Amino acid sequence: MTRTSMTVMTVALMALVLPLRAQTGLYVGAQVTGASLTYKDAADKLDFGSGFGVHAGLTLGSTFGVLVNYDKNTLGSSGGDTDLGQWDVLGRLGFMALGPVKTYLTGGMTGRVAQSPSYGGGVGDYKFSGMNPTGGAAAQVFITSKLALDGSVLWTFGKFSDTRNGSLDPGRVSATGSRVSLGASWYLLGGK
């Protein structure tokens, strides 16, 4: 290998590694979740349901971060269980830090799919999906420099843009969702 090639490879490697070390952290984790979904203009009352989720994120400095999240919940009702899947891409803005505790305000977009055997008094195979705005708050408590316990509360607002049953107008199916989650994050790069 020539001296020029070695120099170029060293500079390229430094250009990759130094920004990663300057970031507060790249992390992955899992959580247990509780979720609710309230349909506007529908008689269906869904129970708060439990589930699980996974997430990955990147915190840039102490102020800003990006979180990608997936949660899967089952919500009960008298007409049968509703399966709810939600994918989030959220920005996180550092709000307050006190010792090992960091808090964040979160906001972004959520893609969600709800599948149910009943809706509005009708029985069938109902499937709703759409992208909607989401906001909330989160906190992390660092147990070690690499391991943090997470907690968050999120709200998703808006209408489902697609319904698969044939008898429903997609513009009329509006639903507000809320989620509470508790989990853990492992910082692969960086950390506290």
HSE toward the beta carbon, residue 92, CA cutoff 13 A: 29
* Least confident range of 37-41, 71-75, 154-158, 164-168: 164-168
SS3 for 55?
Answer: strand
Residue 168 binned pLDDT confidence (cut-offs 50, 70, 90):
low
**Residue whose C-alpha is closest to residue 186's, from 73, 90, 54:** 54
pLDDT at 31: 97
C-alpha distances in angstroms, 90 versus 17, 59, 160?
Answer: 25, 12, 19
The Cα 125–Cα 80 span in angstroms is 11
Residue ranges of domains in the chain = 24-190
pLDDT tens-place string over residues 146-162: 999 999 999 999 888 76
The Cα 144–Cα 179 span in angstroms is 27
Residue 135 binned pLDDT confidence (cut-offs 50, 70, 90):
very high
Report whether 183 contacts 150 (CB < 8 A).
yes
- Please name the CATH architecture into which domain 24-190 falls: Beta Barrel (2.40)
166 has pLDDT over 60: no
- H/E segment holding residue 21: helix 3-22
Residue 171 binned pLDDT confidence (cut-offs 50, 70, 90):
low
- Write down the pTM of the prediction: 0.79
Average pLDDT on 104-132 reads 86
